[in-house]
Amino acid sequence: MPKLAKPLTDTQIRNAKPKEKTYTLADGGGMYLEISSKGSKIWRMSYRQPNGKTTRLTFGRYPETSLQDAREKCMAARKLRAAGTDPAQAKRIEKRNQAFANANTFETVAREWHATKLSSWQLRTANNILHRLEKDVFPLVGKQPISTIGAPLVLDVLRQIERRGAVDMAKRQAQVISQVFRYAIVTGRAESDPVPSLRTALQPSADGHHAAITPDDLPQFLLALERNEIRMYPTTRIMMRLMMLTFVRTSELIETPWAEIDLERELWVIPWQRMKMGKKKVKPRKVDHHVFMPSQGWRLLRELSTYTGGGLFLFPNQRDHQKPASNGAILSALKRMGYGGKHTGHGFRSLAMGVIKERLGYRHEVVDRQLAHSSGDAYGEAYDRAQFLDERRVMMQKYADFLDNVANSNVK
């Protein structure tokens, strides 16, 4: 009958000293402590395979792996053997699965998905999406295997964005995260997308559009702009007034080079490549946009030329005049005026739509062309180049005159 090993004690293990050759201390059940000639102490277990060969498992180094921890690992291996499973093979499978999971973290999959979309995105769009992932998502779940991320963890990520007041940003990040999960599903690295189940858990937006004042708010807004109690720079005030008069998209105004402006002929046409629909990688809308500037706008541009006319852009960046001003310049000025959360740069477009349709009585499709919205039909492109041009020119002057009348308190 084989001699049973007497279980080891912590005292024995601590007092075990290295010898000239490696030796072992048995603990029973096939487990032993191996002490090398250099003093390292490693937990191991040996067992015989059906073919007669001996297999050795390693449970860790002492004292990082305690006696109790080693015994638990040994017991788990013995249970596998009793169930007919080779512990060494099970360990190799677990290690391979863990390596697969580590190679398919959320960040790894997200960056791979991002790379596949580059050909269909504008550079700015691609950079913005990656920047938001790096700021809001990767620090929280980037290192997690994507297959282990469920709805509660994604909800926590989105709620942290909501807590700083960025409700719309949280919704946009949810859309991006969902796309990453869908990519992981089709590439075999996730089984489901947890985002759709979170729709009712996210905070609702105040409304479905960018914040905008109404025509009834105009008198107070124009008065605040005129008084300039926040002491905006002259160029910033001109920027605000031009946004109101032209209601182009913020980036379309901010990034306008002086080369596009013909002060002598009073002509401003934005090339289709700078327009939102023209920047699409797939089927871009190749229609230049006529910005029918009213006389008030041309006076503002002539004033602006005395400040920035010698440079590249209408509104240059203060630090680098070879770049346009930040898109946040208008939003920052609005916040300082007390309109944070109430009005945005994009809100000037909603405001103009309301005034021109409700107060001036113009048809929706005419205002829509001035907003550079796509018509959605084959005839719309021709209309943009021909039928509505004269009507839009008159409309824009009437709109500017209306704003002047409101500022002068002639219209309530």
Q: Which residues are catalytic?
A: 249, 276, 346, 349, 373, 383
Cα(367)–Cα(338) distance, rounded to whole angstroms?
28
Q: Locate 269 and state its tokens.
A: 């046409």
Kindly report the backbone phi and psi dihedral angles of residue 297, in degrees, each rounded to the nearest multiple of 5, phi listed first. -70, -40
CA angle 244, 245, 247 (to 5 degrees): 65
Q: Locate 64 and state its tokens.
A: 């990082």
Cα(134)–Cα(270) distance, rounded to whole angstroms?
33
Cα(233)–Cα(336) distance, rounded to whole angstroms?
13
Q: Within 10 Å of residue 141's Cβ, how many Cβ atoms?
A: 20
Distance (Å) of CA 226 to CA 129, 354, 402: 38, 22, 16
Contacts of the segment 150-155: beta carbons below 8 A, 24+ positions apart: 150/194, 151/194, 151/195, 151/197, 151/198, 154/194, 154/195, 154/198, 155/198, 155/201
Cα(393)–Cα(294) distance, rounded to whole angstroms?
8
DSSP 8-state secondary structure symbol assigned to residue 280: -
Can the peptide bond before residue 63 be classed as cis, meaning omega within 30 degrees of 0? Answer: yes
Cα(13)–Cα(28) distance, rounded to whole angstroms?
14
161 residue type, one letter: I
